[in-house]
A and B are shown apart, each in its own frame.
Chain A
Amino acid sequence: ETGVTQSPTHLIKTRGQQVTLRCSSQSGHNTVSWYQQALGQGPQFIFQYYREEENGRGNFPPRFSGLQFPNYSSELNVNALELDDSALYLCASNADRGTDTQYFGPGTRLTVL
């Protein structure tokens, strides 16, 4: 048990729709990172938030956006869904900047039809 939960577990959307994925971290985990894992691939870094501000972003378009809240929860929003957005989305959190292990949630499986 990592103490990181994600919802929903599975989600099916159609192309062009918008989706919000949620992550709940352990109390005190001020850093949250989101990753996209396509089938058969390693996870790819989307972005990271520290104390509610974006703290780094990978090579993803602006239609991928995020929010982090004071209660250690966070959201990943994806607009104008494309078929290639179908993937497992993982969030990971840690307690302090760079000094603690990142704990991963079980992921949300998004299917775009």
Chain B
Amino acid sequence: AQSVTQLGSHVSVSEGALVLLRCNYSSSVPPYLFWYVQYPNQGLQLLLKYTSAATLVKGINGFEAEFKKSETSFHLTKPSAHMSDAAEYFCAVSPYSGAGSYQLTFGKGTKLSVIP
């Protein structure tokens, strides 16, 4: 069984400040981890994914995340927030047994607000 906990349902940062969105996971098998972004009235867009290669993963729009097995964490960061980063962010985990594609378990999401 797998689960994801996102700490903080709402995070506010000033434009230009560091963005840090927290994600902790629980998984009984080696996990594959993802961060998605959702803009209002839109579907989900993949920011980045960890699939057991490098532990520091770089994604689109300047985001990156670091897989820390000892802490069971996969926090998302961006050095400098931009107004266009305001959206809801979801962390997700999936097993991959080789039998099929990713079947994602999502956290409840963190809404990011960027203050001018």
Contacts and interface: CB of A to CB of B under 8 A. Distances in A.
A88 B28 CA distance: 29
A33 B106 contact: no
What is the interface residue range for chain B against chain A? 20 to 34
Contact of A31 (B44, B98, B100, B106): B100
Interface residues of A, number: 30
Contacts of B105: 45
Contact of B90 (A4, A43, A96, A100): A43
Given A41-B109, A42-B90, A102 B43 contact: no
Interface string B50-74: 0000000000000000000000000
B42 interface: yes
Chain B interface SS verdict (over half): loop
Given A2-B43, A4-B43, A104-B43, A97 B107 contact: no
Interface string A93-104: 010111011111
A105 B107 contact: no
Interface in A40-58: 40-45, 48, 50, 55-56, 58
Interface string B23-58: 000000000000010000111111001000000000
A-B interface, 9 closest residue pairs, ranked by CB to CB distance from nearest? A42-B106, A104-B43, A104-B44, A31-B101, A106-B43, A55-B100, A43-B106, A42-B108, A98-B101
